[in-house]
Structure 1
Amino acid sequence: MNFEPSARSQEYLERVKRFVREHIEPAEARFAAQLQADHAGGDWRRWRVPPEMEEWKAKARAEGLWNLFLPDAKLGAGLSTLEYAPIAQEMGRSLIAPEVFNCNAPDTGNMEVLWRYGSEEQKKQWLEPLLAGEIRSVFCMTEPEVASSDATNMQATAVLDGDHVVLNGRKWWSSGLGHPKAKIAIFMARTPAQDQDRHHQHSMVLVPLDAPGVKVERMLPVFGEYDTPHGHGEVRFENVRLPASNVISGLGKGFEIAQGRLGPGRIHHCMRCLGAAERALELMIDRGMKRTAFGKPLLNLGGNRERVAEARIAIDQARLLTLYAAWKMDEVGALGAMSEISAIKVVAPSVLQKVVDDAIQIFGGAGVSNDTPLAGFFAQARTLRLADGPDEVHKGVIARIELARRGFSRSDRS
């Protein structure tokens, strides 16, 4: 077990690091101010992406810093999960960097779904333009009327009708729905079958967002911010009728696909969290040493040095746990690394939340404004403790696996 980045991983990492430092970080404040000015009216239909983003994306693609997440040497960089992990961390230092390299959620997860499970027709129609960065995508799973931490509660339906599939249901927190380039959604729904167990009664369907019956009802703010120009929307599917060929991998395959999708995605989220935590710690130290109160640097007051030490310990612990999960997933697959993936999904966002909270305290009022990325990092951390499964669900997975190791059956564990 060796977590040292490979030569190929290190080479990509240095190039991404240089790109982020030279092009993205210096422009972040200006980029955020432009988004705020352009979208002050709150009408998501008028949201636009600042031209600088497309310029950065063109430059990144020309430099070969594109689709680095995909373990396919022809379509992406061909990096393993472990090799990609430090690169994702570097991108996580900026809230806008992942999109620059076409490595942003939920597109990465959706592209992996199509790459692993999509038909040739689906790949041609949707995967290719996603890989080219020509369009954006949405993942529709969470529902407002049920506890979505248990996916078997899902009420939305996908019912086969001849050579068509008919969709009905309401979804929310569908990230990316407000993006001007959002064209396709992956819709997860129940397809009840009497002869199948509960984990084979769900399907994933590709839904063009301009299909009749698809209605975006609103964008949902996170701590009062709309996360423009991506947004997190509530959308209704009312008798949406699509060719059966839009079903991914066949009816009843939804849970299997979800496990394949969420494993890498959770690791990507966690590594980005650690990059954000590293930057928050750097900002905290710089601010704390340059700002004085009561005749001393802020960092020399009120136990702040101990907070710096605690942050370093926590970040490094979380990084090692995440790298171990990435290594194990490469070795045995997402199902074989369920406990480790659940563990990092609990740990990494919590570490980020704590480090950012301490940094905000050092910055005072500036820390909760948009003058620094800290408020955005805090919202990211707190949201990720719910997204892709809340902390409690992941702890339940870990506990269930531990009990099984001691020989207790599922009935004993329920």
Structure 2
Amino acid sequence: MDFDYSPRSQELRERLLRFMDEHVYPNEARYEAEIEANTKAGKRWTPLQLLEELKPKAREQGLWNLFLPPTAGGKHGQASGRDFGLSNSDYAPLAEIMGRVPWSSEVFNCSAPDTGNMETIERYGSAEHKQQWLEPLLEGKIRSAFAMTEPAVASSDATNIESRIERKGDEYVINGRKWWTSGAGDPRCRIFIFMGKTDFDAPRHQQQSMILVPADTPGITILRPLNVFGYDDAPHGHMEVDFKDVRVPASNILLGEGRGFEIAQGRLGPGRIHHCMRLVGLAERALELMCRRASSRVAFGRTVAEQGVTRERIAEARCRIDMARLLTLKAAWMMDMAGNKGAKAEIAMIKVVAPNMACQVIDWAMQVHGGGGVSDDFPLAGYYASARTLRFADGPDEVHRNAIAKLELGKYAPA
């Protein structure tokens, strides 16, 4: 395995670092001020002007749709002005840089759930689906939501899903309640990818289907935003949504009935590793803030950085971040070499390792910041909320640990 960045990735990395230095880091305070102003004005769920100003700049510099894989051919592969996509290994260092500021991914049209939804439509959608939904998503003209998790069942087992997708003539009728539907709070959200069951009597993994549901279809009700440690993540949001007798054309089904679980596995593999790439960057930023704070504060006659416990935690953080980065790069390399299915062990391992690592590093950084660490004066509390959520998103730790253990036990099972 060669983890040197490819020339193309290195070029984009340098360009992205400059963009972050020139346009993102200097605007972090403005981002928070704009959110506060929107809240006071009763416009909490309004797209931020800052991000809309930065997007054309990113696109002009060729820093747009960087997540697109090489398989995204034709005009979709050229949507960012590039004539080829990036491999997972190429994209990894770029996602890490974007992850240092949680909101920056949207500036480059590389934020969830849109990336996963775009890949899903590109991979499994029809030509009509791509023209109607993929192209405006790639252009950044609309946003999307992914409706899979349900409040009534343990959705860590996707076969538990109870929502119904029933064929009625030339239409499907959709009924069910979803929550943690990422992106549904954004007023620019125009399309849902919805997972439900088309056949409750089919084999366990052939009951589910995925279907495209336009956001303005009658019968869709946004019930409420779900907060994470008090953060509502506006204007993106993680919403509870009710679908009642929602009718869409039968042609909106992806791949066909009974293919939903297959699509979910194809979609969540890249999504999981993208999250982990960004978490490495988030942990790096937390360590940077930790070191700067520790060097500038004096307690008991010496800087906090000179305290033994602080140095121990800084050293341990450095080790854990680098270990997580290497495992992430290995997973990305395996996905490129063997495909998502061939890399299932590595994807599961990094999905356990990266969020837990980030939570611990951010926690140590918060401790060094004292009371300020848990306040809104510093970004660490928000960082922690995001990292902690990712121990659930795209499958909880327990599911991935179980999968890892089964693979390991299988190596030593009797013939």
Offset of residue 367 of structure 1: 1.3
Offset of residue 302 of structure 1: 4.9
Rounded Cα–Cα distance in structure 2 between residues aligned with 1:227 and 1:28: 16
Offset of residue 33 of structure 1: 2.2
- In structure 2, the partner of 1:201 is 207
- In structure 2, the partner of 1:233 is 239
Offset of residue 370 of structure 1: 2.0
AA aligned opposite 2:94: I
Matched residue SS, 1:334:
helix
Rounded Cα–Cα distance in structure 2 between residues aligned with 1:22 and 1:145: 46
- In structure 2, the partner of 1:11 is 11
Asked if structure 2 preserves the Cα contact closer than 8 Å seen for 1:193 and 1:201, the reply is yes
Asked if structure 1 preserves the Cα contact closer than 8 Å seen for 2:148 and 2:194, the reply is yes
AA aligned opposite 1:88: A
Rounded Cα–Cα distance in structure 2 between residues aligned with 1:107 and 1:319: 24
Rounded Cα–Cα distance in structure 2 between residues aligned with 1:199 and 1:40: 47
Matched residue SS, 2:344:
helix
Rounded Cα–Cα distance in structure 2 between residues aligned with 1:408 and 1:338: 22
Deviations 1:119-178 (A, max 9, x none): 000000000000000001000011001001001110101111111111000000111111
Asked if structure 2 preserves the Cα contact closer than 8 Å seen for 1:47 and 1:179, the reply is yes
2:348 is aligned, of 342, 362, 372, to: 342
1:87 is aligned, of 72, 88, 94, to: 94
Rounded Cα–Cα distance in structure 1 between residues aligned with 2:31 and 2:239: 22
Asked if structure 1 preserves the Cα contact closer than 8 Å seen for 2:44 and 2:235, the reply is no
Matched residue SS, 2:120:
helix
Matched residue SS, 2:343:
helix
Matches within 5 A, 1:377-396: 377-396=383-402
- In structure 2, the partner of 1:58 is 56
Deviations 1:6-29 (A, max 9, x none): 000011111111111111111112
Deviations 1:342-394 (A, max 9, x none): 00000001111000000001111221122222111101110000110000000
Offset of residue 260 of structure 1: 0.9
Matches within 5 A, 1:217-366: 217-366=223-372
- In structure 2, the partner of 1:68 is 66
Q: Given the two structures, how large is their TM-score scaled by the length of structure 1?
A: 0.96
Offset of residue 197 of structure 1: 1.7
Offset of residue 407 of structure 1: 2.8
Offset of residue 400 of structure 1: 1.1
Offset of residue 40 of structure 1: 4.5
1:112 is aligned, of 101, 108, 119, to: 119
Offset of residue 34 of structure 1: 1.5
Q: Which runs of 5+ in 2 are unaligned?
A: none
The number of aligned residues is 406
AA aligned opposite 2:37: A
Q: Which runs of 5+ in 1 are unaligned?
A: 410-414
Offset of residue 193 of structure 1: 5.5
Rounded Cα–Cα distance in structure 2 between residues aligned with 1:254 and 1:274: 30
Rounded Cα–Cα distance in structure 1 between residues aligned with 2:212 and 2:308: 54
Rounded Cα–Cα distance in structure 1 between residues aligned with 2:341 and 2:359: 28
Matched residue SS, 1:94:
coil
- In structure 2, the partner of 1:98 is 105
- In structure 1, the partner of 2:31 is 31
Deviations 1:94-132 (A, max 9, x none): 011100000000000000001110100000000000000
- In structure 2, the partner of 1:412 is none
Asked if structure 2 preserves the Cα contact closer than 8 Å seen for 1:29 and 1:371, the reply is no
How many percent identity over aligned positions? 58
- In structure 1, the partner of 2:382 is 376
Q: How much is the aligned-residue C-alpha RMSD, in angstroms? A: 1.4
